[in-house]
């Protein structure tokens, strides 16, 4: 478990989803061995850490069974930088089901605070003769609507992993886009303040002492509670500006996390850190060790 956590930190989270039998695990194997191999049918989540180009990717290959679509797909999608949505391009019968889940992902899961992502759409098994053409798929899935989502880098490719068609090209595009996104996002925040609902400070990272009076700041946060940010239109977090810094603030049941950054453009990274810390807190809330929490926080950006 420890090892996995360390690995997770270093690699970039990528999720592969799609209905069963479309070639997800085949793709993972191809990335690993650079050749086509026949996988065993997979259930649950298959995790692989693979270096693709210059990037270390943590790849989560998620089973396509119905029960997974409505449960774990969402949490993996929301916490990944890149998503590889794979379909079997010969499967005319399930195209409506594919369309349904694709748009649930875009409209419900990615709207709001997790919207900056790279989405690679693979219409796989292009080597088979009954494979649908790209125009048909784009039309059926209404994919031209993707231009309404400027925060999402989107591209569709027809691929065959078996015949090695277009797959290298598609992965090159994907890795390049993920790399660009990471470049923009990776930063060390100016400060991180974690307080509980009673206003006690749980953790403070503030190397340059930008928060003059942390207790007063926590009091101020309590007063702000319930205020929703108009611009971002999402209740679960707010962004405030305390010159010259931007604070990304989230409140879950027990904790309030405030992360200060210098530049508005790096708020997505604050969001990512906040999410990780929130996860850590909820996993460890029974016996939270403040020292360990501080170590965890430091480990996120050093
Ligand atoms: N013809 C063809 N078959 C493929 C291709 N990619 C995967 N397959 C086959 O599709 C089946 C399902 O693949 P798998 O990776 O297990 O699908 P998953 O359920 O999405 O993980 C296997 O028999 C693969 O060999 C491809 O590009 N072309
Ligand atoms: Mg599989």
Which CATH number goes with the domain that contains 285? 3.40.1840.10
Shared domain check, 163 and 25: yes
CA of 29 to the centre of ligand 2 (A): 10
Of residues 102 and 12, more confidently modeled = 102
Residues less than 5 Å from ion ligand 2, measured at CB:
24-25, 42
Contacts from 54-57 at CB under 8 Å and sequence distance 24+? 54/175, 54/179, 55/12, 55/175, 55/178, 55/179, 55/182, 56/10, 56/11, 56/12, 57/11, 57/12, 57/14, 57/31, 57/175, 57/178
The answer to whether residues 147 and 205 belong to one domain is no
| Residue 111 belongs to domain spanning | 2-185
Q: Which CATH number do you get for residue 142?
A: 3.40.50.300
Determine whether the shortest distance from the Cβ of 271 to ligand 1 is under 6 A: no
Regarding the beta carbon of 26 and ligand 1, being less than 6 Å apart is answered: yes
Atom of ligand 1 nearest to the CA of 29: 15
20 and 162 share one domain: yes
Q: Which residues contact 99 (CB under 8 A, 6 or more apart)?
A: 140, 141, 142
Q: Which of 16, 21, 69, 168 to mutate to test the pocket of ligand 1 (most atoms within 8 A of CB)?
A: 21
Q: Identify the nearest ligand to the CA of 128 by its number.
A: 1
Is residue 124 in contact with ligand 1, taking CB distance under 6 Å? yes
CB 60 within 8 A of CB 13: yes
202: left (phi over 0), alpha (psi -120 to 50) or beta: alpha
Mark whether 126 and 206 lie in a shared domain. no
Is the separation of the CB atoms in 50 and 39 below 8 Å?
Answer: no
Distance 245 CA to ligand 2 centre (A): 45
Q: Is 161 in the pocket of ligand 1 (CB under 6 A)?
A: yes
**121 plus 164 within the same structural domain:** yes
Same domain for 121 and 253, yes or no, is no
Decide whether any atom of ligand 1 lies within 6 Å of the 63 Cβ: no
Closest by CA to 224, choosing from 203, 243, 240, 211, is: 240
For atom 7 of ligand 1, which residue has the closest CA?
23
Structure tokens at 270: 């604050």
More confident residue, 20 or 233: 20
Same domain flag for 166 and 252: no
Of 166, 185, 204, which closes a domain? 185
Residues 122, 140, single domain; the answer is yes
Statement to judge: residues 82 and 156 lie in one domain: yes
Cβ of 38 below 6 Å from ligand 1:
yes
- Is 80 exceeded by the pLDDT of residue 260? yes
Taking CA atoms only, the protein residue closest to ligand 1 atom 11 is: 21
pLDDT at 209: 95
Higher pLDDT, 29 or 240: 29
Q: Do residues 199 and 131 share a domain?
A: no
pTM of whole model > 0.95? no
Strand order in the sheet with 191-196: 201-205, 191-196, 255-261, 245-251, 237-242
pLDDT tens-digit profile of 4-55? 333 344 678 899 999 999 999 999 999 999 889 888 877 788 889 899 988 8
Atom 1, ligand 1: residue with shortest CA distance? 125
Q: pLDDT of 149-190, one tens digit each?
A: 878 999 999 999 999 999 999 999 999 999 888 876 667 899
Examine the domain organization and report whether 95 and 199 are in the same domain: no
Choosing from 185, 202, 227, the residue where a domain stops is: 185
Q: Specify the length of the chain in residues.
A: 302
Bridge partners, 256 (sequence order): 195, 251
Residues 64 and 98 in one domain: yes
Q: Is the CB of 167 under 6 A from ligand 1?
A: no
Alpha-carbon distance of 60 to 145, in angstroms, equals: 27
DSSP string, 226-251: T--BTTTTBTTEEEEEETTEEEEEEE
Among candidate residues 168, 185, 202, the one where a domain is terminated: 185
Please say if the pLDDT value at position 225 is more than 60: yes
């Amino acid at each position: 478990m420890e090892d996995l956590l360390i690995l997770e930190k270093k690699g970039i989270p990528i999720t592969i989803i799609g209905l069963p039998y479309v070639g997800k695990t085949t793709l993972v194997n191809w990335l690993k061995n650079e050749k086509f191999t026949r996988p065993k049918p997979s259930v649950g989540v298959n995790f692989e850490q693979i270096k693709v180009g210059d990037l270390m990717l943590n790849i989560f290959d998620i089973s396509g069974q119905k029960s997974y679509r409505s449960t774990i797909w969402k949490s993996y999608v929301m916490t990944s930088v890149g998503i590889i949505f794979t379909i079997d391009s010969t499967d005319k019968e399930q195209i409506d089901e594919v369309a349904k889940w694709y748009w649930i992902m875009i409209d419900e899961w990615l709207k709001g605070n997790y919207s900056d992502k790279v989405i690679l759409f693979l219409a796989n098994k292009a080597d088979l003769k009954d494979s649908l053409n790209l125009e048909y798929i784009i039309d059926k899935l209404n994919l031209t609507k993707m231009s309404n989502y400027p925060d999402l880098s989107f591209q569709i490719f027809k691929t065959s992993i078996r015949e090695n068609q277009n797959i290298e090209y598609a992965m090159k595009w994907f890795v390049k886009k993920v790399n660009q996104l990471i470049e923009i996002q990776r930063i060390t925040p100016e400060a991180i303040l974690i307080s509980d609902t009673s206003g006690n400070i749980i953790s403070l990272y503030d190397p340059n002492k930008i928060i003059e009076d942390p207790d007063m700041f926590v009091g101020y946060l309590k007063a702000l509670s319930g205020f929703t940010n108009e611009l971002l239109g999402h209740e679960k977090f707010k962004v405030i500006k305390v010159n010259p810094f931007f604070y990304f603030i989230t409140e879950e049941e027990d904790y309030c996390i405030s992360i200060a950054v210098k530049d508005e453009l790096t708020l997505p990274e604050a969001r990512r850190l906040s999410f990780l810390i929130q996860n850590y807190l909820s996993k460890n809330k029974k016996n939270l060790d403040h020292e360990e929490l501080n170590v965890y926080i430091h480990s996120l950006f050093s």
